[in-house]
Structure 1
Amino acid sequence: MASIDFPDDLIALARTSWAEIQAGTLTVATAQAVHEGVAAFAAEAGHPRLDVEMGLKRAVRHPVAEAA
């Protein structure tokens, strides 16, 4: 899968969602906002929605450590 350059606002939204998931406080509004953001970005960028969703989760949940 090719690397996708996600917009900052989508990354921030996914980080909020991940924090809520970890805290057990995820709301329908947050989940829906992430879903809609992923779908809109996928359509705009011409990427499959599933690739965008999985890439975004990977970027937020398992970030690559910066090289020293």
Structure 2
Amino acid sequence: MQLEQAAVDAHNALATADNPAAARQAAVDTAAAFQAAVTEHAAEKGTSRVDVEMAVKKAVRHAEVAG
């Protein structure tokens, strides 16, 4: 969940970035790290990558609903 939160934060930082190119690259890099972690976790657990991704995104992006 930390990687998804980092990806969301990096994406949100684009709007106010002093260096948009660096901010965009940070957003891409954190999103890629999240996707790699999701894929690895799903493979280890034998579950759907999409199900893992959606569960994490729901928990991070809608934390007030989940808890």
Q: TM-score, normalised by structure 2?
A: 0.71
Q: Computing the radius of gyration over CA atoms, which structure comes out larger, 1 or 2? A: 2
Cα deviation for residue 62 of structure 1 reads: 0.4
Count the aligned residue pairs. Answer: 55
- Structure 2: which 5+ residue stretches go unaligned? 15-22
Cα deviation for residue 13 of structure 1 reads: 1.0
Question: Structure 2 CA distance, aligned partners of 1:12 and 1:23?
Answer: 16
Richer in helix (by share): 2
Q: How does 1:1-16 map to 2 (within 5 A)?
A: 11-16=1-6
| Alignment root-mean-square deviation, CA | 1.3
Once the two structures are superposed, residues 4-43 of structure 1 have per-residue CA deviations (whole angstroms, 9 ceiling, x without a partner) of xxxxxxx111111111122223522211111100000010
Instruction: Tell me whether 1:33 sits opposite 2:23 in the alignment.
Output: no
- Structure 1: which 5+ residue stretches go unaligned? 1-10
Q: TM-score, normalised by structure 1?
A: 0.70
Question: Structure 2 CA distance, aligned partners of 1:43 and 1:37?
Answer: 10
